[in-house]
Amino acid sequence: MRILITGAAGFLGSNLAGFLLARGDKVIALDDLSTGRKDNIKEHLTNEDFTFVEADVCEPYHFEVDQIYNLACPASPPHYQRDPIKTTMTCVMGTKNALDLARKTNATVLQASTSEVYGDPECHPQNESYRGNVNPIGPRSCYDEGKRVAESLCFDYQRYHGVKIKVARIFNTYGPKMRADDGRVISNMIVAASNAKPLTVYGDGSQTRSFCYVDDLVGGLAAVMNETGTSGPYNVGNPDERTVLEVAEIIKQRLDPTLAIANLDLPEDDPRQRCPDITRLTSETGWKPTTDFAVGLAATIAYFAQQAVH
């Protein structure tokens, strides 16, 4: 198949590109390199099934493809809050341009949505029928509301133009090819511990997240794209829920038990708890995550060590 991945030089996109190429697909990788890195895809640059295009998804583009994975968008809070207006435009115009291309080429679009559409959830765990609790004017809203509009656009293109869409709500994911300066909790803590610095815990660390290893996540995206019977939305993630403090303790024990923990302010609107209910995707396709947190963490620590992040 000919497959376009937008955001292909980023963490998830580059892992997805590797998965699709290994399966025998032809991949067009579009990215503006704003938060992604060419280094993430350098192993594919000599592969004749792989084409890299440096471009902004906010501008229309055209490629003859069968499937589109629309992943382009900064995902880490410090990154998406750096230029929040651009983040909203990337969600809205980037998704519109992917849908317009799908309309012209009859391709299927998978939209990379997020657990952030649930905001600071009042129900737990979150299933896909929960409509969310998002602050529309806070510092996270460029991303949360941008992604909500992106979902809305997908379903309107399906209703009005018959475009084939799939919506995947991705929960916190970690693994190789994350940036060392990404700002997310797992990368921050591994990098800090590797440099004998205190591990930063925002607030008292009692907030929870549920972490999915990237290989499992990529398999989940492919399952949503190829094996589901509806357009979704489908939660994709690992229900293995932990407090942030627990994550800090695990990383400390693995890398340096003598390290201190530094408590910093909790960012505004930081969700208190988050855990995916993945029943819908699992019952339809059989997909479920299989990588234990300890195993995924070991692979991620090895990746950062090999990158010699100091």
- Residues with catalytic function: 143
Output phi, psi for 166, to 5 deg: -140, 135
Q: Tell me the CA distances in angstroms from 167 to 94, 128, 137, 207, 267, one per residue in order.
A: 15, 11, 24, 27, 28
CB neighbour class for 100 (10 Å; exposed up to 12, middle 13-18, buried from 19): middle
Binder to ligand UDP among 83, 100, 256, 270 (CB under 6 A)? 270
Residues 230-269 that bind ligand UDP (CB under 6 A): 244, 267
Site membership for ligand UDP, residue 185 (CB under 6 A): yes
Q: Between the CA of residue 109 and those of 5, 142, 151, 255, what are the distances in Å?
A: 10, 22, 11, 41
9 binds ligand NAD (CB under 6 A): yes
Indicate the helix (H) or strand (E) that contains 35: none
Binding residue count for ligand UDP, defined by CB under 6 A? 14
Stretch touching ligand NAD by CB under 6 A, among 44-52, 170-178, 199-207, 290-298: 170-178
Draw the binding track, 58-77, toward ligand NAD (x: CB under 6 A; -: no contact): x------------xxxxx--
Among 170, 193, 225, 259, contact with ligand NAD (rule: CB under 6 A): 170
Query: Measured from the CB of residue 185, what is the shortest distance to ligand UDP in angstroms?
Result: 4
Q: Is the peptide bond before 233 cis (omega within 30 degrees of 0)?
A: yes
Considering the complex, what minimum distance in angstroms separates the CB of residue 270 from ligand UDP? 5
Q: Kindly state the number of chain residues that form the binding site for ligand NAD, as judged by CB under 6 A.
A: 28
Nearest alpha-carbon partner for 34 in 84, 77, 72:
72
CB of 260 to ligand NAD, least distance (A): 27
Is the Cβ of residue 35 or residue 188 nearer to ligand NAD in the bound state? Answer: 35
Please identify, among the stretches 130-138, 165-173, 188-196, 251-259, the one whose residues bind ligand NAD according to the rule CB under 6 A.
Answer: 165-173
Q: Specify the residue, 256 or 270, whose C-beta has the smaller distance to ligand UDP.
A: 270
The string of DSSP codes covering 124-187 is SSB-TT---B--TTSTTHHHHHHHHHHHHHHHHHHHHH--EEEEEEE--EE-TT--TTS--HHH
Region binding ligand NAD by CB under 6 A among candidate stretches 9-17, 130-138, 271-279, 287-295: 9-17
Q: Which window, 17-25, 42-50, 181-189, 233-241, contacts ligand UDP (CB under 6 A)?
A: 181-189
For residues 71 and 224, which CB has a smaller minimum distance to ligand NAD in the complex?
A: 71
Which of 20, 27, 31, 223: binder of ligand NAD (CB under 6 A)? 31
Task: Select the residue interacting with ligand UDP from 19, 61, 130, 202 (CB under 6 A).
Answer: 202
* DSSP H or E run through 278: none
* Helix H or strand E segment including 71: none
User: Minimum CB separation from ligand NAD for residue 141, in Å?
Assistant: 14
What distance in Å separates the CA atoms of residue 267 and residue 183, rounded to the nearest whole number? 12
Q: Which residues bind ligand NAD (CB under 6 A)?
A: 7, 9-13, 31-36, 56-58, 71-75, 79, 90, 94, 112, 114, 170, 172-173
Query: Applying CB under 6 A, which residues contact ligand UDP?
Result: 76-77, 172, 184-185, 188, 200-202, 207, 209, 244, 267, 270
